[in-house]
Amino acid sequence: MRHLKVGIIMGSQSDWSVMKESAIILEELKIPYEKKIISAHRTPDRLWEYGETAIERGVAIIIAGAGGAAHLPGMMASKTQVPVIGVPIPTTALSGLDSLYSILQMPKGYPVATMAIGNPGASNAALLATSILSLNDSEISKRLMAWRQDLSRSIEETPRE
Ligand code: RP5
C-alpha cells in the first residue's frame, strides 16, 4: 500500500510556533508528514498547485493553520477532496476569534473540521488526523491507543498542594 502522509500547511512563517505542535504529535505517533507555508492571499498559486496535486502525492489529510482573515483552510477545502482540518492561529488584535470564525463558518458543501484556537487545536488536529488514518491501519491504531493510555495514566487522581 502506498504510504499516505499528512500535509501541515500554514499561512505564514509566524504560524509555525503553533503549527509545530501538530508536527510534534505526528512525530510521536510516527505518522509521515510534510510542512509548507502556503498563503491564501500572498501565494494563491501555491495554494492551487498544492490542492491540485495533493491526492496524487499521497496526502491523505491536510492540517491547515491560519490567522486573522484565515482563508487558507476553506480555500484548500474548495480545491481538494482531501479532508481539511483547520487550526485557528491566535492573533494580537482579536485573540484568534477572528481566525476561529473565519475557519469555522464554511458554507454548505465545503467543510473544514475546525479545532480550538492555538496550541491545543494544533495538537488535536494531529490526533484527529491520526485517528482518521487509523481506520485503515491497525499499526497506527495501536500506537494511537497506547498514546491515549499514556496520557490517561499521566493524570494524577489527587491534586497536589
Ligand atoms: C495569515 O496572516 C497567517 O496565517 C498569519 O497567521 C497572519 C499573519 O501573518 P504574518 O503577517 O505574520 O506573516 O495569513
Atom of ligand 1 nearest to the CA of 41: 14
Ligand 1: which residue has its CA nearest to atom 2? Answer: 67
Per-residue DSSP letter, 95: T
**79's grid cell:** 480545491
Answer left, alpha or beta for residue 96, where phi above 0 means left and psi between -120 and 50 means alpha: left
Atom of ligand 1 nearest to the CA of 10: 4
Ligand 1: which residue has its CA nearest to atom 13? Answer: 12
What is the Cα–Cα distance from 137 to 68, expressed in whole angstroms?
36
Cα distances (Å, whole numbers) of residue 88 to 19, 95, 114, 121, 135? 10, 10, 8, 7, 26
Task: Note the pLDDT tens digit of each residue in 81-126.
Answer: 999 999 999 999 999 999 999 999 999 999 999 999 999 999 999 9
Overall pTM > 0.85 = yes
Cα distances (Å, whole numbers) of residue 97 to 20, 52, 59, 104? 20, 30, 29, 10
Q: Are 63 and 161 in contact (CB under 8 A)?
A: no
Atom of ligand 1 nearest to the CA of 67: 6
Does residue 50 register a pLDDT over 60? yes
Per-residue DSSP letter, 32: -
Q: What is the mean pLDDT of residues 57-79?
A: 98
The whole-number pLDDT of residue 2 equals 60
What is the Cα–Cα distance from 60 to 145, expressed in whole angstroms?
20
SS3 assignment, position 83: coil
Ligand 1: which residue has its CA nearest to atom 14? Answer: 11
Ligand 1: which residue has its CA nearest to atom 5? Answer: 67
